Structure 1
Amino acid sequence: MNRREFLISASGLSLAAGVGVLSPPAHASQDELVLVLGSSSNGCPNYDPIRGTYLNLGAYLIYDRLIEMDADQSYHPHLAQSWENSPDGMSWSFTLRQGVKFHDGEPFNAHTIPWWISKYAGTENQFMVDAIDHVEIIDDHAFRFIMKRPEPNLIYYLANVFMGIPSPKSYDAVSNGYGVTEAVGTGPFKLESFVISQETVLVSNDDYAWPNPLSENQGPPSIKRLTLREIPDASTAFLELKTGGVGMLLGLPTEFLPQLQAEKSIKFRTLPGIGVTTIKFNVRKEPFTDIKIRQATALAVDQAAILKGVYNGIGTESHQFLIASLAESRVGKDFEIHYDAEKANHLLDEAGWVRGDDGVRHKAGAPLAVSLWTRGETEYKRIAEIVQAQLKAVGMAVD
């Protein structure tokens, strides 16, 4: 929408537009947990952070990163204890944590870094390291990135799940099959087994002594065996929780909120998310070639009604393109989009679209008719139905 996009923030919805719920099954021991991933995390094809394009929670637990990012977008040291950018942005110097080992017993140190960065060449994730010319090793626990050009997003990339660091020995031994039968990092959990689209079984790394600084547990995992199950149907997953088949769900759709509130034995939390739901225009196709039509459409959409009708009131409105947790989202009021049907109607009038007896606007004998495409999930269909009614109210026919 040319930066004037209709946005519904997923902030407040746990992971994928939903809530995370926890209910320890009576038969489970305290050191074992079965967790059901949210539907948006299903179908992960492998645990290869370098070549992968789709990873789930397991990747965060198998691999560590040089840097960790908090929910407020602040950065914290992890495998890298400190870092410094040169004034001209053409080099980054890092000091590494000592004593870190991969699950296969191999040491993690500065000599790992050149190998790791080189592996991104030719992959879909290459853009994250494109600005790095080469790696200069200072000593066993310090290195420097020499840059081709300044890269303001480098720290953000280094905190990304796709920059988890695998063991060079294991990665090269398995080659193209890596991430399915074997996935070896320095993280708090080791991969025991993985069946695509069914489940991942992880076991604790009892030697883990370099925890994520954001973790309350600063030692090895207290959970010794963690099973990540994939149950695409939310109703089936919720029934499994109620009957004790699983201990935790992530990303349950908010339509289940009334049932959750009625189940006193189930604890649930809503957590800040990092995504937005958007409607995008094809600005090369009439009528959206006219900026007034785009502006009117954005103003005609009542996000509060969608939050109430689709998400049971969980979430926040987003009045510009960035999620609320980013400092850059604090923009002037003139750049925000708020629901204003009166202004939307005024813009459509200015654009020459006249409302007919059927309620639909016309111009030069043609109706103001548009198509709204959406995803197949119930959540998105319900959003589309609400948007269809809201646009109809200002004289747009939507199919």
Structure 2
Amino acid sequence: MKPTTLGSHGLCLLMAAVALTGCGGGSDRGGQAQKAEVVEGGTFTLGLSSDPGSLDPQMSAGSSLFTVTQFAYDPLVGVDGDSGEILPALADSWQVDGTTVTLTLGDGITCADGTPLTAAGIADNINFVADPKNKSPFLGTFLPPGAKAEGDDATRVVTITLARPAPFVLNGLSGLPMVCPKGLADRSALKTATDGTGPYKLVEAAPGDHYTYARRDGYTWGPNGATTATKGLPATVVVKVVENETTAANLLLSGGLNAAAISGPDAERLAKTGLYAATTPALVGEQWYNQRAGRATADAKVRKALTQALDLGQLRKVFTSGRGTPATTLAANEPVACHGDSASGALPATDPQAAGALLDEAGWTKGADGRRAKGGKPLKLTLLYQNNVGSGGDAAAELAVQQWKAIGVEATARSQNETTLINNLFGAGDWDVSWVSVNVSTPDQLVPFLSGPAAPDGNNFAAISNPGYEAAVKKAMATQGAAGCRDWLAAESKLIAGADIVPFAANQVRMFGKGAEFQTPGQLVPTSIRMLAK
């Protein structure tokens, strides 16, 4: 197959509470943006709510890293944001035959240092991610476990052999960035530098403050045939770390930023000014419980009680400042692979009295002061959430704390920046409840986060073990593509009913722009940026 048009890749694994995460967004041309002329040689300044940390594109699932990765790296294939059709990127043709995937690379593709892209180099990328010893979070998410790759430089063909059939293998490859040979040979250099085939190259890194990218000459293999010779494409991109959403909104209005994703009440303030906005659907509210041994939330009765104590509709309204809608599936990015509703029938109704009874059954009884304890140990919980959710997120966290307090649970809400939060979830594990959304468009990409080895040995940061989910997944994996969606949705429902995960809000996240326009089907697409005349 060899399609003639290319949309940007549509799969995004983004660990963030309210990040720009969906795939297949639209735009709202407000103000005078639609009438402005594009200008040459400009500088595009993007506000990012968290520092990405190490810039190695294959070693973190954080949304901040995923955002900056798009500037310097390309995937093998793309996915059309509307139709879900697999489209060319580094590979211009492909074939899937059972457990064998073959991809033929396009001509003339080079790394930023001028080195030609080779099939052997692509195979090295795949084999690195496939090796469990390397602990890439993309293994099992964008690349099926057990995959092995070989590359033939003479024919430019990469052959991937799978351990078993994978229902959405090409969709996964669309989210896997490819690193060039020097970066593969010295991965430590990738922490503060880039080595990819993308349209930009990192020229300055000031961690915690900004990252500067310079446009490459001769880039001709971008989405939809995009090149870096396109008029209006910025010559320089500055990614500036701005953790406070109100500060980012003010910088947009003053011209200090050209783009930033804003989700809280500041979004309405910006919308009223007529700023350009690219919209992206996202699952923004997902509650997880730490099920490691020794945690109170390892007990299913405690998890179900904490879920029943919450008024999820009220929580959604506060969290999204009234703009959110109920979540329906866990893999909700456009283009959605499996349509349906795995959530509403599995989520429990709000019932504080029943929640209290469950805690009693679990041995957490109320004392004279109204607080619950077990064996002399008080029931104290820590709720972690990301610091870029605005005042609505802060208010929602306090609401949850109050509703848990009403059933005798003492909870503390703490906001953290994305890097700190991810390190805590995947490393220290010092948390009880977290609000963090894993946004993907195919349900198989969620499997390593919802089952298997617990972090830090795997991606299962909540240490979930749900035999019903695992059995349903096994059945679903045996069927190619959307034909298995009924089983995938059934698997999700088992998790939700077991209070392993609580999806409570979906929303349209907006990236606002001033002095520039762009597209955000999944992430900000670098080759879509157009600098506008003042």
TM range (shorter): 0.7 to 0.9
- Sequence identity (%): 18
Please say if residues 204 and 220 of structure 1, whose CA atoms lie closer than 8 Å, have aligned partners that are also in contact. Answer: no
Please say if residues 49 and 164 of structure 1, whose CA atoms lie closer than 8 Å, have aligned partners that are also in contact. Answer: yes
* CA drift at 1:151: 4.7
Q: Calculate the TM-score normalised by the size of structure 1.
A: 0.74
Aligned to 1:207, the other structure's residue is in SS state: coil
Deviates more, 1:314-323 or 1:196-205: 314-323
CA 1:39–1:150 in structure 2 vs 1: closer, same or farther (change >3 Å)? same
Q: Please list the CA deviations of residues 161-193 of structure 1 after superposition, one character each: whole Å capped at 9, or x if unmatched.
A: xx322332x436766324524x23221223332
**Where does residue 341 of structure 1 map in the other structure?**
350
| Counterpart AA for 1:33 | T
Please say if residues 359 and 365 of structure 2, whose CA atoms lie closer than 8 Å, have aligned partners that are also in contact. Answer: no
Q: Where in structure 2 are the equivalents of 1:151-230 lying within 5 Å? A: 151-152=166-167, 154-160=169-175, 163-168=176-181, 170-171=182-183, 176-181=188-193, 183-213=194-224, 217=226, 220-221=229-230, 222-230=233-241
Deviates more, 1:353-362 or 1:272-281: 353-362
Name the count of aligned residue pairs.
372
**Where does residue 87 of structure 2 map in the other structure?**
76
Q: Calculate the TM-score normalised by the size of structure 2.
A: 0.57
Please say if residues 329 and 343 of structure 2, whose CA atoms lie closer than 8 Å, have aligned partners that are also in contact. Answer: no
Q: For 1:383, which of 396, 399, 417 is the aligned residue?
A: 396
Please say if residues 327 and 343 of structure 2, whose CA atoms lie closer than 8 Å, have aligned partners that are also in contact. Answer: no
**Where does residue 147 of structure 2 map in the other structure?**
132
Q: Distance in 1 between matches of 2:166 and 2:46?
A: 37
Gaps of 5+ in 1: 1-8
Aligned to 1:374, the other structure's residue is in SS state: strand
Is 1:142 aligned to 2:157, yes or no?
yes
Q: Please list the CA deviations of residues 304-341 of structure 1 after superposition, one character each: whole Å capped at 9, or x if unmatched.
A: 32233232123333256443654446245785215x23
Is 1:114 aligned to 2:117, yes or no?
no
Q: Where in structure 2 are the equivalents of 1:33-52 lying within 5 Å? A: 33-40=43-50, 42-46=51-55, 48-50=56-58
Aligned to 1:390, the other structure's residue is in SS state: helix
Please say if residues 194 and 200 of structure 1, whose CA atoms lie closer than 8 Å, have aligned partners that are also in contact. Answer: yes
* CA drift at 1:135: 0.9
Aligned to 2:134, the other structure's residue is in SS state: coil
Q: Distance in 2 between matches of 1:130 and 1:286?
A: 30
CA 1:57–1:351 in structure 2 vs 1: closer, same or farther (change >3 Å)? closer
**Where does residue 4 of structure 1 map in the other structure?**
none
Q: Distance in 2 between matches of 1:365 and 1:99?
A: 69
| Counterpart AA for 1:385 | E
**Where does residue 373 of structure 1 map in the other structure?**
383
CA 1:305–1:320 in structure 2 vs 1: closer, same or farther (change >3 Å)? same
| Counterpart AA for 1:132 | A
* CA drift at 1:350: 7.3
Q: Where in structure 2 are the equivalents of 1:355-374 lying within 5 Å? A: 369-374=379-384
CA 1:97–1:190 in structure 2 vs 1: closer, same or farther (change >3 Å)? same
Aligned to 1:294, the other structure's residue is in SS state: helix
Q: For 1:273, which of 282, 288, 295 is the aligned residue?
A: 282
Q: Distance in 2 between matches of 1:84 and 1:303?
A: 44
Q: Distance in 2 between matches of 1:362 and 1:274?
A: 33
Is 1:254 aligned to 2:267, yes or no?
no
Deviates more, 1:65-74 or 1:284-293: 284-293
Q: Distance in 1 between matches of 2:370 and 2:328?
A: 27
Please say if residues 260 and 268 of structure 1, whose CA atoms lie closer than 8 Å, have aligned partners that are also in contact. Answer: no
Gaps of 5+ in 2: 1-14, 412-534
CA 1:328–1:280 in structure 2 vs 1: closer, same or farther (change >3 Å)? farther
Please say if residues 208 and 241 of structure 2, whose CA atoms lie closer than 8 Å, have aligned partners that are also in contact. Answer: yes
Aligned to 1:337, the other structure's residue is in SS state: coil
| Counterpart AA for 1:341 | T
Q: Please list the CA deviations of residues 366-385 of structure 1 after superposition, one character each: whole Å capped at 9, or x if unmatched.
A: 99955243247384543221
| Counterpart AA for 2:396 | I
**Where does residue 6 of structure 1 map in the other structure?**
none
Q: For 2:254, which of 240, 243, 246 is the aligned residue?
A: 243
Deviates more, 1:359-368 or 1:382-391: 359-368
Please say if residues 310 and 404 of structure 2, whose CA atoms lie closer than 8 Å, have aligned partners that are also in contact. Answer: yes
* CA drift at 1:254: 0.8
Q: Distance in 1 between matches of 2:280 and 2:152?
A: 40
